[in-house]
Amino acid sequence: MSAGCSNTGDGTKPAAPADGIELDPANYPTTPRDLGKAGSLGGYVEARRMADFMTMPFDIDPSLIDPCNHQGALSRAASLGSNLDTIFPESAATNYVAGFVTCGWSEKTGALRNAVLRYTTPEDAAAAATELGIKGGPDPQWFTDKDGPTVTPTAIPDHPDARALTWQDGRAVVVAYTAHGPFLLVQSAFLDSQPDPDPALTWIAETLTQQIPLIDEFEPTPADQITDLPLDPTGLVGRTLDPPPDRQTQLVFGHYGPHAFLTFSDDPVADEKLFAEAGVTELVLGGANVYKTRDAAGAKQIVTEWSDVRDRDTDWNPVDAATGIEGIRCHEQVSKRGTDEARTLYTCNFSVDAYAVTVTAAQVANLRQMAAAQSLLLTAE
C-alpha cells in the first residue's frame, strides 16, 4: 500500500467538519479492504494498465471529445466485434489475454475507435490480424437486407502491415487490423456523410503512428502471471467505496492511471491539462471516484474547476447537501422536470488532503452518507 493511502506517513487528516455537522456514514463501510490477487479478474486489471498507453481519439482530431457507449476493458476479444458492429470470429480470439477500447466522436465530424488487444504471443496476434483482415468486415445482421455492403480491402498510408477494409454505410467506414508484437491494434473510423474513405484512412494512419511507439512503452505482465496481479496495486481501491451491487459487474470500475481515465472524461482535453497541473498520479472509479494528486492544493484545484463547470452548466444547480464536509460543492440535476418521469441526480466534489473525490446519488441522504464514508475511508488507519 502506498504511503499516500494512509494517514500514518503523510499527515492525512479527515475532511474537516463544517457548520458543526458530524460525519454520518450510516451503513456505508469506513474500514479499508484488502482485495488480494485479481484471480479471474486479472485480464481486466491488465487492460486498465494497458489503457495508460493508448492513443486517444482527441489526440488525432481535437473535435473527437464526446465519449461513446461500450468502451473500456473488453470482457473477451469477440466483444470488440459487438463494439464495432463487425464480424469477429472466435478463432481470432485464440490465446487472447486482455483488451481495451477507447472512442471519441463529434456530431459534426464523425467517430474514431482505437483498441489494443493483447495475445499470448506475437504469432497469436499475427494470426488474428490475418484472419480479421479478411473476415472482420461489417456484421450483416445490422443491415436491412441481412447481406451487408460490399467490402473492399484497402491500404493504410505509411503502415503497409495494416490489414484494412472499407465499405459504404451512408458514409465510408474503415476498419484496420495491425499486429505489433503480442498486440493487435484495431481502429475503426468514419466521417459523417463522407463517402470518400481517405479522411478516415488518414485518421487511422495517424492513430497507428502514435499508438505503436506508445504501446512499446508498456511492460506486459507475463501471461501466466495475470491471475497474480493485485486487484488493488496501491491500496486506493480498498479505500474507495464499492459500486452498488447492481452495478458491480460493469467493467468501468477499477484502478486507472491519469491518461487512461480520459477514455471516460466528458471533456478529455480540459481534464488532461487539469490532471497535469494538479499532479494526478492514480485514480479509482468506484462507488465514489477518487483522484490522488501531488498535494492538497492539486486536489482542491480539481474540486474547484469541476465544480465551476457545473456552475456554468444550465442543466445543474448548486445545492447545499449539508454533508458536514468543509469546502464541499454539490449540485443537482433534474431531468424531465414536472412529469411523472422526473428524476433527480445529486453530485458533490470535495477534497481530503491530496485526494479529490466525486460522489453521486439519487437521494440527498445517501449523498451525505457516501461523502462521509468516503472521507473516513481515506483517513482510516
pLDDT value of position 248: 67
- The answer to whether 117 touches 50, Cβ cutoff 8 Å, is no
The arithmetic mean of pLDDT across residues 243-249, rounded, is 76
The arithmetic mean of pLDDT across residues 161-178, rounded, is 96
Cα separation, 64 vs 131, in Å, equals 30
Q: Per mean pLDDT, which range of 36-45, 67-76, 150-159, 251-260 is the poorest?
A: 67-76
What residues contact residue 26 under an 8 Å CB cut-off, 6+ apart? Answer: 369, 372, 373
Residue percentage of the chain with pLDDT more than 90: 83
Is residue 6 scored above 50 in pLDDT?
no
Cα separation, 162 vs 203, in Å, equals 13
- The answer to whether 305 touches 329, Cβ cutoff 8 Å, is no
pLDDT value of position 10: 41
Q: Helix (H, G, I), strand (E, B), or coil: what is residue 318?
A: strand
- The answer to whether 194 touches 200, Cβ cutoff 8 Å, is yes
Confidence band, pLDDT 50/70/90 cuts, at residue 154? very high
**Lookup: cell for 291:** 483522484
Q: How far is CA 366 from the centre of its chain?
A: 25
pLDDT value of position 249: 67
pLDDT value of position 31: 97
- In one-letter notation, the amino acid at residue 154 is T
pLDDT (tens digit, 9 = 90+) per residue, 14-62?
A: 454 555 468 999 999 999 999 999 999 999 999 999 999 999 999 999 9
Alpha helix ranges (H) inside 231-326: 258-261, 268-278, 296-312
366 DSSP assignment:
H
Alpha helix ranges (H) inside the chain: 42-50, 57-60, 79-84, 122-135, 198-216, 258-261, 268-278, 296-312, 364-379
The Cβ of residue 33 has, within 10 Å, a number of other Cβ atoms equal to 15
**Lookup: cell for 81:** 466485434
pLDDT (tens digit, 9 = 90+) per residue, 191-225?
A: 988 899 999 999 999 999 999 999 999 999 999 99
pLDDT (tens digit, 9 = 90+) per residue, 82-131?
A: 999 999 999 999 999 999 999 999 999 999 999 999 999 999 999 999 99
CA angle 273/275/278 to nearest 5° reads 110
The arithmetic mean of pLDDT across residues 325-350, rounded, is 89
pLDDT value of position 11: 41
Indicate yes or no: pTM above 0.75: yes
Q: What is the end-to-end Cα distance of the chain in Å, rounded?
A: 12
Confidence band, pLDDT 50/70/90 cuts, at residue 4? very low
Residue percentage of the chain with pLDDT more than 70: 94
pLDDT value of position 17: 52
